[in-house]
Amino acid sequence: MNRPAVVLTQPELRAGALAASLERRGLEVLRWPLTAIDALPGIDWPTLAATLAGCRWVLLPSPGAIDVVMGALVRHGIAWPTAVGLGVIGPGSREALDAWRSRLPGLAEAPTVEPQRAPHDADSLLAEPAFAALDGIPVAVLRRADGREAWLHTLRERGARLHAISVYAAHDAAPPPEAAAWLAARASHDAPLGFSVASADVGARLGAFVDGLACAAWVRDRPVFTQHPRIAEALVRQGWRRVERHAPGADGLVGAIESAWPDTP
C-alpha cells in the first residue's frame, strides 16, 4: 500500500503503453478510462485511404485519432500513402505515431511535423512553417466528430484544399465499480496516490465522482498530473488543490511523478 499508485484516466487505446512505462519504474498503475474512443461506423477505409493519397499533409489532432486511423489501416491491409506527410500536435501524439511506424508499411518514411514548443495543441501545429502558406495544397484533417472548428477555418483561410473528415467519436465513461472502495482504502492508509488527466472534461467528471465519497477531501489533495496549461488552469478551478504540470509524453509524466515522490524506485 505504500508503493505510489497512479490512476490513468486516458482512453483505453492510449493507456497501455503509458501504463507499461510507469510499471517499469515500480509504480502501481490503475487504468480508469473516463473517455471511450471508437471509430465511427460505416467508414469506407479504402476510399478514405485514396483521399489521403491525394493530399500533401494529413493532420491528426490527438493520439486517439492516430490510434483509430492507423489501427483501421492495419486491419484493412492498407499502406500509408507515399510522400504524404503527417502533422501531429506534440510528443504524446508522436509517441502514439511511433508505436505504429513498424506495423504500417510506408509510415516510417512519412515526413512528420509537430510543434517545437509548448503549448502542444492544434494552434501551435498550424504555427509551424510547413503550414504557413497552403494555397491550393490538399490537406486532410482526420478528426473527432465534435472536434474544434476554428483551426479548420484557419486552414481554409490559408488556401488549403481541405478534407475535414470525422473518423472517431468520444464518449463519457464512469470509473470502475471498485473505484470508491479502492480510494477509501488508499485514504485510510494515507497511501501515495496521483491521477493523470488529459482533458478538463475528465477532470470535472472525476471531481464530481470523488465529491460523492467520504474520503473526498483527502482525494482532492492528491496530485493531479497534466501537461497542458489550459487544462491545468481548469483543474484548479474545479477544486483540485495540487495540480502538477509536466512536460509532454510518457517521460514528462514520469518526471513529474518522480518529483512528487522522490523515493519512487
> Is 70 exceeded by the pLDDT of residue 251?
yes
Alpha-carbon span 29 to 109, nearest angstrom: 34
Which distant-in-sequence residues (6+ apart) come within 8 Å of 157 by Cβ? none
- How large is the C-alpha radius of gyration of the chain? 20
Question: What value does the mean pLDDT take over residues 236-254?
Answer: 89
Alpha-carbon span 114 to 93, nearest angstrom: 9
- Bridge partners, residue 195, by sequence: 7, 224
> Is 60 exceeded by the pLDDT of residue 110?
yes
**Class of residue 247 by CB neighbours under 10 A (exposed 0-12, middle 13-18, buried 19+):** middle
Chain mean position to CA 203: 14
> Is 60 exceeded by the pLDDT of residue 21?
yes
C-alpha cell at 20: 507499461
Per-residue confidence (pLDDT) for residue 152, from 0 to 100: 92
CB 153 within 8 A of CB 147: no
* Weakest mean pLDDT among 66-70, 91-95, 133-137, 142-146: 91-95
Alpha-carbon span 197 to 200, nearest angstrom: 8
> Is 70 exceeded by the pLDDT of residue 263?
no
Per-residue confidence (pLDDT) for residue 119, from 0 to 100: 73
- According to DSSP, residue 129 is labeled G
Alpha-carbon span 89 to 130, nearest angstrom: 14
> Is 60 exceeded by the pLDDT of residue 264?
no
Alpha-carbon span 178 to 16, nearest angstrom: 20
Which distant-in-sequence residues (6+ apart) come within 8 Å of 41 by Cβ? none
> Is 90 exceeded by the pLDDT of residue 62?
no
Going by pLDDT thresholds of 50, 70 and 90, the confidence category of residue 1 is: low
Question: What value does the mean pLDDT take over residues 214-218?
Answer: 97
Least Cα distance to 228 among 36, 93, 57, 130 occurs for 93
> Is 90 exceeded by the pLDDT of residue 214?
yes
Count the neighbouring beta carbons within 10 Å of the beta carbon of residue 253. Answer: 25
- The full set of domains in the chain, from first to last, is 5-34+173-260 (3.40.50.10090), 38-171 (3.40.50.10090)
Alpha-carbon span 97 to 112, nearest angstrom: 10
CA angle (144, 147, 153) in 5-degree steps: 125
Q: How many residues does the chain have?
A: 265
C-alpha distances in angstroms, 183 versus 1, 4, 193, 225, 241? 12, 13, 9, 17, 17
